[in-house]
Amino acid sequence: MLKKGKLKLPDRLGILVPGFDDKEEENGGSEPVFESGEELEIMEPNGVELGHKENEYEFDLGVDDKVGDKVDAFRTRKRPDKDGLGQVTVREVIAADEKRSDLEYEFSQKEINLEKVKRIASMGVPDGGGLRATAWKLMLGYLSPSHDVWEKELTENRQKYAKLKEELLLSPSEYTRVKADAMISAELSSEGDVAGPLKRQEISHGDHPLSVGMASAWHHFFKHTEIAEQIDRDLQRTHPDMKFFSGESSFSKKNREAMRNILLLFAKLNPAICYVQGMNEVLAPILYVFSTDTNEQNAVNAEADSFSCFVRLLSDSVDHFCQQLDNSPVGILSTLSRLAKLLKENDEELWKHLEFTTKVKPQFYAFRWITLLLSQEFNFQSILRIWDSLLSNPFGVQDMLLRICCAMLLCMKSRLLSGDFVANLRLLQHYPDINIEYLLQVAQDLSADTSSYSLSL
């Protein structure tokens, strides 16, 4: 059972964001009713660009009831061209306009009511106007509820990120040249335009590209070459159906470069976790939302803002990526057990069928669901909607994540009860299209997971 309270973050994860350690009418007025065993209607695709995934990670079943090595735990798989967006009703348009007006009003206030922002976001943040970017930053604690300090905090965080990039991502020769140029510029400013003798930069004879010394800056630089290559391979298959991430245009290359910087910097700052395949999928929605902010200054600084918010989001589930903690109270196996317990509390018949009759264990399908925050199971637009609910949940991201995972099982109950091991595993690893709003309502209405904990972001 997980203990309530904050997780202790490894390495420098906790210091990357200032203050981290301180701190219905949809049915004519009636609420949607979910009956156990009710299965959602499969929706037909509409061919929208954001509506499908080409390459995804599939859990390797080459182990028996164990979670395999985190780096090898995913393999690429194909999914059909599906997950289209459905028709938008007049009522939905009106509801979106009301939510947009409410959020715009809240964001204009000197002191923002974060609880109200979360309530609105839990019903889905309307697209456009940069509302989702601002809401996510607030809900992740990157922006303060005090509007007056936004400019100061954003400037400080963005400068801190630029400094980290300079120190950790530049090669030693590039870093030396940058520092030398800055020193010369400072000296010229202090001495005016008076010309003087040039000064040579001091370089240690023992620190060069061929140096094998543990203290060598070049040794540390080359140590992460293999990680950078893995990141590059993963980025090539990140949402290949979206021009934002895929292709050879300068636009997509710039976005992939931003993701590469963020992931490599995270790996260097957190050697105990490093980079694990699939982190690129968690980062993708954040960078997309922040880069498409209508505020030009925010869009330009999307990389820096995405880094800080990526760190904050991972802090809630970082232990799932650490294989040494698999069997600990905060490891992935414990979280999978909580999912099984939640299913048992809400539908014991389905739980028994999966657990004992077909022996479809949660680690065979939910490992990817949980570690990647469902970023591989639905179309991109649906992922953004799901994340609105994850980030706005008052009991934390993990609480809502497990509720949604459990709801995904309940919504497929009849098919799962009639299926065998192979059929059920195929169904859950290639989850069919469903009405996302209905799924989220089912998740919200579930009996509470008594073993859940809340992380203060």
**Co-location of 228 and 107 in the same domain:** no
**Co-location of 309 and 347 in the same domain:** no
Tell me whether residue 198 is in a domain. no
**Co-location of 258 and 328 in the same domain:** no
pLDDT at 91: 87
**Co-location of 161 and 141 in the same domain:** no
Domain containing residue 103: CATH number? 1.10.10
For the cut 50, the answer to whether the pLDDT of residue 198 exceeds it is no
Q: Which of 316, 351, 379 is the last residue of a domain?
A: 316
Number of domains in the chain: 3
454 versus 213: which is more confidently predicted? Answer: 213
Average pLDDT over residues 287-303: 97
pLDDT at 86: 52
DSSP label at 55? E
Residues near 192 by Cβ (< 8 Å), separated by ≥ 6? none
Judge whether 429 and 362 are in contact, CB under 8 Å.
no
pLDDT at 252: 96
pLDDT at 63: 39
The tens digit of pLDDT for each residue in 351-379 reads 999 999 999 999 999 999 999 999 999 99
181 versus 91: which is more confidently predicted? Answer: 91
Q: How far apart are CA 100 and CA 120, in angstroms?
A: 9
- b/e map of 55-81 (b: 16 or more CB within 10 Å)? bbbbbeeeeeeebbebeebbeeeebee
For the cut 80, the answer to whether the pLDDT of residue 203 exceeds it is no
Only one residue has tokens 């140029």, namely 181
For the cut 70, the answer to whether the pLDDT of residue 445 exceeds it is yes
Tell me whether residue 85 is in a domain. no
Using alpha carbons only, give the angle 245, 17, 266 rounded to the nearest 5 degrees.
45
DSSP label at 205? T
Tell me whether residue 404 is in a domain. yes
The tens digit of pLDDT for each residue in 46-68 reads 333 444 444 444 444 443 444 44
Q: How far apart are CA 92 and CA 44, in angstroms?
A: 19
Residues near 385 by Cβ (< 8 Å), separated by ≥ 6? 124, 436, 437, 440
pLDDT at 5: 39
pLDDT at 418: 97
pLDDT at 450: 42
pTM: predicted TM-score of the whole model, two decimal places: 0.75
Tell me whether residue 125 is in a domain. yes
For the cut 70, the answer to whether the pLDDT of residue 397 exceeds it is yes
Structural domain containing residue 381: 323-445
**Co-location of 328 and 386 in the same domain:** yes
Q: Which phi and psi angles does 78 have, rounded to 5°?
A: -95, 145
Average pLDDT over residues 254-264: 97
- Region class of 278: left (phi > 0), else alpha (psi between -120 and 50), else beta: left
Domain containing residue 330: CATH number? 1.10.472.80
Q: Confidence band (pLDDT; 50, 70, 90) for 390?
A: very high
Tell me whether residue 101 is in a domain. yes
Q: Which of 316, 345, 375 is the last residue of a domain?
A: 316
Q: What is the residue-averaged pLDDT of the chain?
A: 78
**Co-location of 436 and 408 in the same domain:** yes
Look at residue 453 and give its three-state secondary structure: coil
